[in-house]
Amino acid sequence: MATPLKTDQKLWEVVEEDPVPASPAPPERERIDVNLLALGLKTVSQRFVAALVNLFTLVTMAGAWFLWYRIPDPNVYQIVSLSIFAAFVLAANWLVRRK
């Protein structure tokens, strides 16, 4: 019969873990995160406003074209009315695009 090996208790030692270093100043990091988020939202909102200006131009020009397209055989009064509307659309776009 085999005899159990005798182990020396001094070979085994309990080592405590090193404490995990805390992240550098959590409130400061949170403030940086909020500032970065605000900067990103500001950029997105500026692009959105620029896109709205271009969308306004697209919608008004498409409306003028659609009115011209819907009248298959215009008479003189319809042509004058559509021309006045087209002039209004151009003036409105000029006012919106002017800075």
Q: How many CA atoms lie within 13 A of 32 on its CB side?
A: 6
Predicted confidence at residue 24, as pLDDT, reads 59
Summarize pLDDT for 16-55 with one digit per residue, the tens: 787 777 665 567 777 788 888 888 888 888 888 888 878 8
Integer Cα distance of 86 and 80 in angstroms: 10
Predicted confidence at residue 20, as pLDDT, reads 72
Tell me the whole-structure pTM to 2 decimals. Answer: 0.50
